[in-house]
A and B are shown apart, each in its own frame.
Chain A
Amino acid sequence: MGRVPQTITEKILAAHAGREFVEPGELINARVDVLLANDITAPLSIREFEQLGVPVFDPAAVVLVPDHFTPNKDIKSAEQAKTVREFARRHDLPNYFEVGRMGIEHCLLPEQGLVGPGDVIIGADSHTCTYGAIGAFATGVGSTDLAAAMALGETWFKVPETLKFVYTGKLGPWVGGKDLILRTIGEIGVEGALYCAMEFSGPVIESLPMDGRFTMCNMAVEAGAKNGIIAPDEKTEAYVRGRARRPYRVFASDPDARYKKVYEFDVTGWEPCVAFPHSPDNVRPVRAAGKIAVDQVVIGSCTNGRLEDLRLAARVLRGKKVHPDVRLIIIPGTQEIYRQALKEGLVEIFIEAGGAVSTPTCGPCLGGHMGVLAAGERAVATTNRNFVGRMGHPKSEVYLANPAVAAASAVMGRIADPEEVV
């Protein structure tokens, strides 16, 4: 049999299944390099795993990050976090990250070099797909799947078909990874990539900084995708070099690889955009938003809590004041990002503007703590979901946007274009 053209996703899965190639639709068993869980999902995994009565297949491969309801928001959350902490101690897991030394999981793992190009990563968190930005196959699973993989070191996958997205043209001012992915989800819908891989490519992706690429792959799941992925290039190598804790392997799609569909977007003229309640595909240009007053603005999360995001917010907020009717909450994604934001004077800008700066946590994104909304309240957030009740009361509303739009909205007290402020 001759050479079979493969996508990057197929190549990574084949390499982890001990195969020459794999076909979309096939069920395979694949070795996993990294397994992740948090304070919400790990307790269920631990309960299931302990029924097996076996050791963890590789303690260094299991990463536990209590980031959702931490620092513990109530007694029950404290007990869940304790379950995770004690499990990590009992099994000598070196990659447990405590409050004060941690970060939001999907900001933390790439930063700490725990995930690398060519890896297969599963996480009991749907946004595990973030790591596709460094050319890994990464996908969210449930707690029981994670428990089984902690014992076996492998899991089963149905090889996904791949949708290819090619972005050409020139990015406008204040338009970045968040806008590219929101516009894309707006085009294909929240089930537009159901069960598929989303492969992002083209000159616009090549020009995008790593942080923008993380944002794009992070939200692949909001289109129903199994994974989002970007082939590694010099930027990826520069990011990974000096961080990677294990050898890594760079894969790329063959030029004649087969795709379920190819979408081509010329981004020239695209403006910053906003996803209106209550679905990430309900996308409009910010300038068409109309006069929508906001009560709260959240800048952070696994989607947009990285250094580039904070720099962008600071460019808008420098020398400005948060609108008197708005609470601005800024959450650096990791302790390292926080420290760097301090060094660069970003935190100073945020506090001068009248914003609250928090230790890393998922907190408000899922309506946990640190910024829960009351009935009738509206938030602009750089997070990933605007479902009913996502940030609090089921009668509250979340508008998703990039960090510059969020910062401009905090200043104006309504959804605003950064051009109106800067």
Chain B
Amino acid sequence: MLEGTVFRFGDNIDTDLIIPARYLNTSDPAELARHCMEDADPTFAARVQPGDIIVAGANFGCGSSREHAPVAIKAAGVACVIARSFARIFYRNAFNIGLPILECPEAEAIAPGSRVRVDLGTGRITVVDTGAEYRARPVPPFMREIIAAGGLIPYVKARLAGGR
């Protein structure tokens, strides 16, 4: 069970907003985290606390394939991203690097600054103050296998070791 404060963003939050290309001359997670969401909200990196949660509208993570985007979000301490929908490359990348993400059709009903509890197993999202509950779309079973293994690389390692 995760619990954190919500940072709200709108639709079509692209990877240039999540981590501008001017910082892509490194892949060091801590350095990327310092500039996370910089062009969408320059105060974000300074304010975000470990365990906080990003809630956004449609097509979160559109644009570039840069894995630096979910890496920056994860390294900034964000525990989970909830959005109405995700761009497909970002969706894969988040699972592959172990950043939990949930697709929730009602994501935008969740107010900025509210505390929410997220049950990744069931996809239930609860707003602590109001008790309002939202449901995320179930994660495909195959993606759950990747999460259970601890990300794509451990998953592949196990597969290679098993000779499959």
A interface residues (Cβ-Cβ under 8 A, vs B): 27, 40-41, 43-44, 47-48, 51-52, 54, 68-69, 73-74, 76-77, 80, 123-126, 128, 140-145, 147-148, 151-152, 156, 158, 190-191, 194-195, 224, 226, 279, 366-368, 372, 385, 387-390, 392, 394
Max count, chain A CB within 10 A of own CB: residue among B12, B38, B64, B96: B64
Cβ contact of B160, chosen from A54, A123, A158, cutoff 8 A: A54
A73 and B152 contacting across the interface, CB-CB below 8 Å: no
Provide 14 A-B residue pairs closer than 8 Å at the C-beta atoms, listed in order of the A residue.
Answer: A43-B27, A44-B71, A51-B153, A52-B160, A69-B24, A80-B25, A126-B65, A141-B89, A142-B96, A142-B97, A152-B160, A367-B22, A387-B17, A394-B20
Per the bound structure, the CA–CA distance linking A348 and B96 in Å amounts to: 48
Cβ contact of B65, chosen from A41, A73, A80, A387, cutoff 8 A: A41
B39 interface contact, C-beta 8 A:
yes
Min CB–CB distance A66 → chain B (angstroms) = 12
| Interface-side segment among B46-54, B55-63, B111-119, B122-130 | B55-63
Per the bound structure, the CA–CA distance linking A126 and B61 in Å amounts to: 12
Q: Is the interface of A mostly helix, strand, loop or mixed?
A: loop
B45 interface contact, C-beta 8 A:
no
Binary contact readout B55-88 vs A (1 if CB under 8 angstroms, 0 otherwise): 0001100111111101100000000000001011
B85 and A191 contacting across the interface, CB-CB below 8 Å: yes
B25 and A73 contacting across the interface, CB-CB below 8 Å: yes
B64 and A279 contacting across the interface, CB-CB below 8 Å: no
Per the bound structure, the CA–CA distance linking A159 and B48 in Å amounts to: 37
Cβ contact of B66, chosen from A40, A52, A151, cutoff 8 A: A40
A144 and B97 contacting across the interface, CB-CB below 8 Å: yes
3 pairs of A and B residues whose beta carbons are closest in the complex = A142-B93, A76-B25, A144-B96
B21 and A368 contacting across the interface, CB-CB below 8 Å: yes
Min CB–CB distance A51 → chain B (angstroms) = 6
CB neighbours (8 Å) of B11 from chain A are 191
Per the bound structure, the CA–CA distance linking A227 and B14 in Å amounts to: 18
A126-B63 contact, Cβ under 8 Å, with A52-B160, A141-B92: yes
B85 and A194 contacting across the interface, CB-CB below 8 Å: yes
Per the bound structure, the CA–CA distance linking A148 and B95 in Å amounts to: 13
CB neighbours (8 Å) of B22 from chain A are 367-368, 372, 389, 392
A126-B85 contact, Cβ under 8 Å, with A69-B25, A77-B25, A141-B65: no
CB neighbours (8 Å) of B70 from chain A are 142
> Which of chain B's residues has its CB closest to A51's CB?
B153
A191-B67 contact, Cβ under 8 Å, with A69-B25, A226-B88: no
B142 and A191 contacting across the interface, CB-CB below 8 Å: no
Interface residues of B in 133-160 (CB under 8 A from A): 140, 142, 151-153, 155-157, 159-160
> Which of chain A's residues has its CB closest to B57's CB?
A191
B17 and A389 contacting across the interface, CB-CB below 8 Å: yes
CB neighbours (8 Å) of B68 from chain A are 40, 44
Per the bound structure, the CA–CA distance linking A140 and B11 in Å amounts to: 21
A224 and B59 contacting across the interface, CB-CB below 8 Å: yes
Per the bound structure, the CA–CA distance linking A44 and B25 in Å amounts to: 12
Min CB–CB distance A341 → chain B (angstroms) = 27
B16 and A27 contacting across the interface, CB-CB below 8 Å: no
CB neighbours (8 Å) of A74 from chain B are 25
CB neighbours (8 Å) of B140 from chain A are 27, 158
Per the bound structure, the CA–CA distance linking A128 and B39 in Å amounts to: 26
CB neighbours (8 Å) of A387 from chain B are 14, 16-17, 63
B66 and A148 contacting across the interface, CB-CB below 8 Å: no
Per the bound structure, the CA–CA distance linking A371 and B27 in Å amounts to: 23
B67 and A144 contacting across the interface, CB-CB below 8 Å: yes
